[in-house]
Amino acid sequence: MPTKEIRNHFQEAAADEEHFPSTIDRRIYHVQLIVDYFGDLAGKRVLDVGCGKGRFARILSDENPRAAIVAFDLAEAMLRFVPEGIATCSGSMTALPFASANFDCAYATESLEHAVDIETAVSEICRVVKPGGRIVIIDKNAEQWGRLETPTWEKWFHRKELEKLLGRHCREVSSKPISYWEDVAPDGLFLAWLAVR
């Protein structure tokens, strides 16, 4: 699947605030998980891989004003919504334009599914994180494929599949089913992978 087609899809999607919102509720568990797992980010560099409009980066920045957060996305149109004070960068997650060991933390929330070359994308996310740095990937469970309408290129993941890819580069890897809301039991759609480089 050509990157150009995927980029065009998200360039157009940027105008759709209903399905691609620029803000997210702080209480959503996806947000809480990232905030809690990363901890105090004062003086640290954080990469949001496939940030969309920067809704997760916005909360991390608000809660960690002394952190340097970089919002990275394939579609320049999405990056126009990222709040001031958060650095933006456009490109492909299979060739991240950053030096190795450049970030203390990195996360990808429902963006790895669009990378097509998943192995390379995971390798790149790990490459740019410092040894001892933390990585979070939140995405959809392959065992639930078909529950949602998806673009032809989108890929969902099995727990062990991404654990194995992360395990090639990270010293600690775990995964768990998560829910959208903390007080609702996981229904199997979302998985979270947590890693220490």
3-196, what's its fold?
A: Rossmann fold (3.40.50)
Give the tens place of pLDDT for each residue, 104-121: 999 999 999 999 999 999
Sketch the domain layout of the chain as residue ranges.
Answer: 3-196
Phi-psi region of 32 (alpha: psi -120 to 50; beta: other; left: phi over 0): alpha
Stretch 82-87: mean pLDDT: 95
Cα 64 from Cα 43, distance rounded (Å) = 9
Give me the pLDDT at residue 2, please. Answer: 66
pLDDT band at 1 (very low <50, low <70, confident <90, very high): low
Q: What is the pLDDT of residue 5?
A: 87
Q: Each residue of 41-77: pLDDT tens digit?
A: 999 999 999 999 999 999 999 999 999 999 999 999 9
Q: Is the pTM for the entire model greater than 0.85? A: yes
